[in-house]
Chain A
Amino acid sequence: MALLSHLLNTLLQTLLDLIPIIAIIFGFQIIVLRQKIANLKNILLGLLYVLIGLGFFLVGLEKALFPLGKIMATQLTDPAFIYSGFESIPLTLHWADYVWVYLFAAAIGFSTTIAEPSLIAVAIKANSVSAGAIGVWGLRIAVAIGVAAGISLGTFRIVTGTPLHYYIIVGYIIVIIQTMRAPKMIIPLAYDSGGVTTSTVTVPLVAALGLGLASTVPGRSVIIDGFGLIAFASLFPMITVMGYAQLSEWRSKRSMEKLEKQENN
């Protein structure tokens, strides 16, 4: 019963979220463009799918993944777990003691990004626009690796207490250098991937991890270090997506050169 009312509540929320979008689009279609909406029946059905789908998705996440993921994040960052093999909790912490935290950060960053619906949407679009040159899975995995590396490095930063802006500035310098060298067609997509990753699935779990770490590692501030992880999660996908394009360009160049050599012989 509680589930049902929760579900109805979320559906209503999602509907409220959708209404302004629908109103603006249909309003402009009818008043400014004076145009009938083609395939109206299909589109309304599709919108119904979006509404129900998103509602189910959110309720399911709140029932299953978020509680468990949040408990795990707190347990993994708990000094009682980290120093479980030790005789006593040492006075000064060593970054290597937190190795399970870094691994968990990378794993959860990767897996939540793979399930991120807005990234799936962008990947489908990029695949059809590039006529298949950019694979749906290639892009999703490239972004997921970026988020994994970013969040893992972000937890390392919280543990060691090094300033956030050093990492971010170095990251952006790498982005600028890659922008000058990467194939032109990947750049806007790579920049978009940064904004797409920080969405429904990733943010709550990552925030729980940041919060758990910041509240158990001595000398960290919950406010400053919690949001730092999100900044990492939107920076690193840009690097890995451009890297993915550079790698595929380099590989196709090399196989072309091989082919030319064979022909010359």
Chain B
Amino acid sequence: MSTDESPVVIRVEDVHKVFGDLHVLTGCDLTVRSGEVAVLVGPSGSGKSTLLRCINQLEEPTAGRVLIEDVVQGYAPDPLPDGRWQKLSAAQIAAQRSRIGMVFQRFHLFPHLTALGNVMEAPVQVRGLPKAAAETKARALLERVGLADRADHYPSELSGGQQQRVAIARALAMDPELMLFDEPTSALDPELVSEVLAVLKDLAADGMTMVVVTHEMGFAREVADQVVFMDEGRILEQGAPEQVIDNPRSERLQGFLASVL
């Protein structure tokens, strides 16, 4: 849980994203404080995933900027004399990304590596952690997501829920400052959703700063500090769950809630 005095971890300022003729994000502002759980909801195509992907630079904002712990993402801190912004190199961007964990809708585990190998990969390859230390850490993380006994299984030998939990452990292995979840339960069979949500709740209770795109309104109500409703590329309503979910002001949100609840 965070308070208004907690330091700001994510600051999204007037972000626009244009794909060809498509204006996917039309000026989004979002502030997430340390230890806070922000849940993004909205109809498909509303720009939730794009906004999330702008936070860890999988998408480059067309306008506006994203700051993580007050550091501009993707550009040098100060503009050049002519007013342009100096883009960071690929290696510098990779370093910024390595501090942000991300979990995908379709897991994207590395199929040629075991569960343990998936979790060890980035600490060894990016941080240069010795293999033995990385393995100890990876086993502890797999234990945490309840998969200690699946460490030597390949992703194809795991259920969807198990794969997603390995993906969460893989992201946690980099000791991220914050975690992004892009519809983490949307590709799962209904009976497997709860095991993944349980891990998310556990993380939230531990004080992880999280941004979660989801359609699970029960989860939003229970865990979110702020619920953000997006529609047609802009944020229409945001606030505490009881305010946004239980007392929607806009007709758009009322209609959306009626369709998902």
Is chain B found bound to chain A in the same assembly?
no
